């Protein structure tokens, strides 16, 4: 095949081009022709098609995501906001923290191990590109039914992939979630979050400025893996026959990534880079166009200088390749030699592939012939934007009317006891230790808290004890019942989880996993979730710093539950002051903070006991969440509480079981006056937590709650080796432990 140069394209306007096969729509193709004033070359078409895919351009979601910026609360803590590789937050003492969550859903279904592994690799490079040293990862995961045969294929592969890549990199995995629901059958959600730390002055941005500066590609060689992965893998729905299209997935090499991290941090330290971008989805197409678009001028790239693993690759393939472990840096000419020297020291291949020009075009040459000549902004930042039609699904009313509060309840203490054991032993509520034990939690030596604690916490300064806490939460069942409230509940829970450990919530990252944007019902769910999350972020004063949208999570006509996963980052002045979740001291008093209402819609109880999903999710009261957080943080700082655990799915009984099993101590409880024992144990009202208070601090603690107007009910005492609810039932810790810890290994080991 002869080379499709710019000149050739101008001379042959009528050549048929495979725009449809590349995922472009007719009007999108026409717009490309309009922008260029001619037909695109093959290479240009490849670039536009990947960059204008849903995954890269956010064309369906953009109009809704705007709210995160427009409604963003003023925050002194934000150093870099939405739009860069990741947001950056000031955590004090001159430190900045960057964090972001991304999805790697479709690749992880096709090839669980490599899909999940490269998900970690990708998010780590995003964090690295901001100038930060990656210090921890977390993984919110969702799979089909726990006993489904395909879950046995997907889950172990995903867990091994996360563990394999993360452990090799030497990054602790400090938390996340594992949720099972038949709606994720065929569309598992593999989200990955990374946290990085730097000094304020170390922040780097993805822009190519300064005419004459060199463009350096460094890291792994470019191969034929994941070609078109972005447009094909991430933006097309699987049909019912399963993954018939099996494009080459990417295989990662964590040891190469480790070298890339150390090499990149060293070039940062010597101040050798002007701008930097990681290569992820859409590979070089994305990196060159985004760098040029954000910079001052144009860029010229000699594509034939790119080091290849396979010499037969065409220029289009090189532009689209998603080979892992690559970065692109903009370097002043005088610093190139030193840059290359450092790369050589780390055994990292580095090549000058082009330079920044004073024009305003991105020009790419192949053996001297021009194959791309485009305005970079039209590729990277001015892609199509769709106002997709959305409409509240017809079934929504019926679903909300199917009230879970009306389901048959346990009649007596014996039935309560039996249902408690079933609940804490159900796959979603059971201990996930079998999974998290496959990850290295303590490497680097700064992990203060990890799963199953409310949030992961890491120390970032060994002298002062400054640390950050991160939690991720999302409840697709709540969001299905009411996406607006469901998204707010995800934020509220994550926020509460961070506060429960004693850290002050500062900022938010989100991974929005939804069905097809071409379905008005799924689009409505997405729009409502964005609106809910943006409103709640404004009220709580925690801006969204960045994140990721994953659409088309559906098989045939069946979409997943709308699943907004929300990560919250908080700061704690001294990690020695943290609050763990374990009830470890006999005689301490157990207080329930917040109001318990009859709220069972979408609850774990309704799922486990009745296989039911209907009614309304719990109410959200963000002012209450803020107050609860303030109390938890003050109590932690002043040493008034020894343990705290947030109440969410599974309600009080779940939280109590976890706190008691972790501390190895039982608890004797009394149902507060006026509360039904069943509602007390199983309701999932938001804005609640349990704490254990030393007797010496009781007065101080209750005075503080009283003065601030937070309901605090003394519900019992830490004691013995059973959980006993007076007048109802008693269950030994041994029996609880068996129920809670045996489930996952029995299903998956």
Which residues of this protein are in contact with other proteins, per CB under 8 A? 110-111, 114, 220, 223-225, 227, 246, 248-253, 255-256, 309-310, 323-324, 347
What is the distance between the alpha carbons of residues 301 and 366, in angstroms, rounded to a whole number?
9
Q: In sequence order, which residues have a C-beta less than 8 Å from that of residue 311 and are 6 or more positions away?
A: none
Distance, CA of 515 to CA of 236 (rounded, Å) = 11
Residue 8 annotated as part of some ligand binding site:
no
Tell me the closest approach of the beta carbon of residue 111 to other proteins, in angstroms: 5
CA dihedral 149, 151, 157, 161 (to 10 degrees): 180
Helices vs strands, H then E, count in the chain: 26, 28
Q: How far is the CB of 246 from other proteins (least distance, A)?
A: 6
Structure tokens at 352: 């000058």
Provide the minimum distance between the beta carbon of 163 and other proteins in the complex, in angstroms, as a whole number: 17
For 307, the token pair is 């080091």
What letters, b where the CB count within 10 A reaches 16 and e where it falls short, cover 710-733? bbbbebbbbbbebbbbeebbebeb
Token match 């065409």: residue? Answer: 314
DSSP 164-208: HHHHHHT--EEEEEEEE-GGGTT--EEEEEEEEEEEGGG------
- For 716, the 3-state DSSP assignment is strand
- Is 152 annotated as ligand-binding? no
| CA–CA distance, 267 with 590 (Å, rounded to integer) | 52
Which lies closer to other proteins via its Cβ, residue 317 or residue 697? Answer: 317
* 472 close to 175: Cβ distance less than 8 angstroms: yes
Nearest alpha-carbon partner for 649 in 672, 682, 691, 678? 682
Contact 125, 259 (CB under 8 A): no
Q: From CA 553, how far away is CA 188, in angstroms rounded? A: 8
Q: Is 431 annotated as a binding residue?
A: no
How near is the Cβ of 426 to other proteins at its closest, in Å?
A: 32
100, 546 Cβ separation under 8 angstroms: yes
Relative orientation angle of helices 149-169 and 254-269, to the nearest 10 degrees: 40
Q: Is-contact 196 135, C-beta < 8 A?
A: yes
Establish whether 654 is an annotated binding residue: no
Report the distance separating Cα 459 and Cα 453, nearest Å.
15
Whether 100 has a binding-site annotation, put simply, is yes
Q: How far is the CB of 329 from other proteins (least distance, A)?
A: 22
In contact, 196 and 172? CB cutoff 8 Å: no
Which phi and psi angles does 381 have, rounded to 5°?
A: -120, -15
The least distance separating other proteins from the CB of residue 109, rounded to whole angstroms, comes to 11
- 659 known member of a binding site: no
Residue 323 assigned to a binding site? yes
Contact 715, 400 (CB under 8 A): no
Q: What are phi and psi of 551, to 5 degrees?
A: -105, 180
Let me know if 532 is exposed, middle or buried by CB neighbors in 10 A (0-12, 13-18, 19+): buried
**Structure token digits, residue 642:** 């020894």
Looking at the Cβ atoms of 2 and 311, the one nearer to other proteins is 311
The residue (of 246 and 269) whose beta carbon lies closer to other proteins is 246
- Is 610 within any annotated ligand binding site? no
CB of 13 to other proteins, least distance (A): 33
Least separation in angstroms between CB 127 and other proteins: 22
591 is in an annotated binding site: no
Q: Known binder of ligand: residue 113?
A: no
Q: Quote the Cα angle for 358-360-363, to 5°.
A: 95
Tokens 């050589």 -> residue: 344
Query: How far is C-alpha 520 from the geometric centre of its chain's CA atoms?
Result: 25
In the sheet where 729-732 sits, what is the strand order?
Answer: 643-646, 689-693, 589-593, 712-718, 667-669, 722-725, 729-732
> Would you say 552 is a known binding-site residue?
no
510 is in an annotated binding site: yes
- Packed helices 254-269 and 112-129: angle between N→C axes, nearest 10 degrees: 0
Annotated ligand binding at 477? The verdict is no
Residue pair 644/633 in contact (Cβ under 8 Å)? The answer is no
Nearer to other proteins (CB atom), residue 247 or residue 541: 247
CB of 315 to other proteins, least distance (A): 16
State yes or no: 405 annotated in a binding site.
no
Closest CA to 263 of 173, 446, 128, 119: 128
Catalytic residues: 55, 104
Give which of 658, 643, 646, 651 is closest to 586, Cα–Cα.
Answer: 643
CA 523 to chain centre: 20
Please say which residue, 256 or 657, places its beta carbon nearer to other proteins.
Answer: 256
Smallest separation (angstroms) from other proteins to the CB of 351? 17
Greatest pairwise CA separation for the chain in angstroms: 88
Conformation bin of residue 398: beta by default, left when phi > 0, alpha when psi is -120 to 50: alpha
Binding-site residue ranges for substrate: 103-106, 125, 250, 322-324, 550
Output the known binding site for ATP.
58, 100, 510, 547
Binding residues, as ranges, are: 58, 100, 102-106, 125-126, 250, 278, 322-324, 510, 547-548, 550
């Amino acid at each position: 095949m002869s080379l499709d140069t710019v000149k050739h394209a101008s001379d042959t306007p009528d050549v048929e081009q495979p725009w449809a096969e590349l995922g472009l729509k007719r009007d999108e193709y026409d717009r490309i022709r309009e922008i260029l004033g001619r037909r695109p070359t093959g290479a240009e078409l490849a670039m536009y098609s990947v960059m204008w895919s849903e995954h890269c351009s956010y064309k369906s979601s953009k109009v809704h995501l705007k709210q995160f910026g427009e409604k963003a609360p003023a925050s002194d803590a934000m150093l870099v906001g939405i739009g860069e590789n990741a947001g950056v937050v000031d955590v004090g003492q001159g430190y900045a923290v960057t964090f972001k969550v991304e999805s790697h859903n479709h690749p992880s279904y096709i090839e669980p191990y490599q899909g999940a592994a490269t998900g970690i690799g990708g998010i780590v490079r995003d964090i690295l590109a901001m100038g930060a040293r990656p210090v921890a990862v977390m993984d919110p995961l969702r799979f089909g039914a726990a006993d489904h045969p395909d879950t046995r294929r997907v889950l172990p592969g995903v867990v091994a992939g996360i563990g394999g890549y993360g452990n090799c990199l030497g990054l602790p995995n400090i938390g996340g979630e594992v949720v099972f629901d038949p709606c994720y059958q065929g569309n598992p959600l593999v989200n990955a979050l990374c946290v990085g730390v730097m000094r304020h002055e170390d922040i780097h941005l993805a822009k190519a400025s300064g005419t004459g500066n060199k463009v350096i590609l460094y890291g792994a060689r470019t191969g034929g893996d994941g070609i078109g992965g972005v447009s094909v893998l991430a933006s097309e729905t699987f049909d019912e026959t399963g993954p018939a299209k099996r494009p080459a997935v990417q295989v990662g090499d964590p040891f190469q990534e480790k070298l890339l991290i150390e090499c990149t941090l060293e070039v940062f330290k010597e101040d050798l880079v002007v701008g930097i971008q990681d290569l992820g989805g859409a590979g070089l197409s994305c990196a060159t166009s985004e760098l040029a678009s954000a910079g001052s001028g144009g860029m010229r790239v000699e594509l034939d200088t790119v080091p290849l693993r396979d010499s037969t690759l065409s220029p289009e393939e090189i532009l689209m390749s998603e080979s892992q472990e690559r970065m692109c840096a903009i370097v002043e000419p005088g610093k190139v030699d030193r840059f290359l020297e450092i790369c050589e020291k780390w055994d990292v291949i580095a090549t000058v592939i082009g330079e920044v020009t004073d024009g305003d075009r991105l020009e790419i040459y192949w053996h001297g012939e021009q194959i791309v000549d485009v305005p970079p902004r039209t590729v990277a930042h001015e892609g199509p934007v769709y106002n997709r039609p959305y409409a509240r699904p017809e079934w929504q009313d019926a679903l909300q009317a199917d009230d879970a509060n009306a389901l048959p309840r346990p009649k007596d203490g014996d039935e309560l006891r039996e249902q408690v054991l079933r609940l804490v032993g159900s796959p979603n509520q059971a201990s996930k230790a079998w999974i998290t034990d496959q990850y290295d939690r303590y490497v680097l030596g700064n992990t203060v808290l990890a799963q199953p604690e409310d949030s992961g916490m890491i120390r970032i300064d060994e002298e002062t004890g400054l640390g950050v806490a991160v939690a991720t939460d999302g409840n697709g069942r709540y969001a299905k019942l009411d996406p607006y409230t469901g998204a707010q509940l995800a934020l509220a829970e994550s926020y509460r989880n961070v506060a429960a450990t004693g850290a002050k919530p500062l900022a938010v990252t989100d991974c929005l996993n939804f069905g097809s944007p071409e379905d008005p019902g799924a689009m409505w769910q997405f729009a409502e979730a964005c609106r809910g999350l943006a409103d709640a972020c404004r009220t709580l004063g925690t801006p969204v710093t960045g994140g990721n949208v994953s659409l088309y999570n559906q098989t045939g006509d069946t979409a997943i539950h709308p699943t907004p996963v929300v990560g919250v980052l908080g700061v704690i002045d001294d990690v020695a002051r943290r609050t763990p979740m374990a009830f470890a001291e006999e005689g301490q008093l157990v207080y329930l903070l917040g109001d318990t209402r009859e709220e069972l819609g979408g609850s774990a109880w309704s799922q486990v006991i009745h296989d039911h999903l209907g009614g309304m999710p719990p109410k959200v009261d963000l002012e209450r969440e803020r107050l609860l957080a303030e109390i938890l943080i003050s109590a932690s700082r002043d040493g008034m509480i020894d343990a705290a655990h947030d109440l969410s799915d599974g309600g009080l009984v779940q939280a109590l079981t976890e706190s008691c099993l972790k501390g190895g101590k039982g608890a004797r409880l009394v149902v507060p006056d006026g509360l039904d024992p069943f509602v007390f144990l199983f309701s999932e009202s938001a804005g609640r937590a349990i704490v254990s208070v030393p007797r010496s601090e009781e007065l101080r603690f209750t005075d503080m709650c009283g003065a601030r107007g937070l309901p605090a009910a003394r519900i019992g005492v830490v004691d013995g080796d059973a959980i006993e609810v007076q007048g109802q039932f008693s269950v030994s810790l041994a029996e609880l432990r068996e129920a809670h810890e045996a489930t996952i290994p029995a299903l998956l080991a």
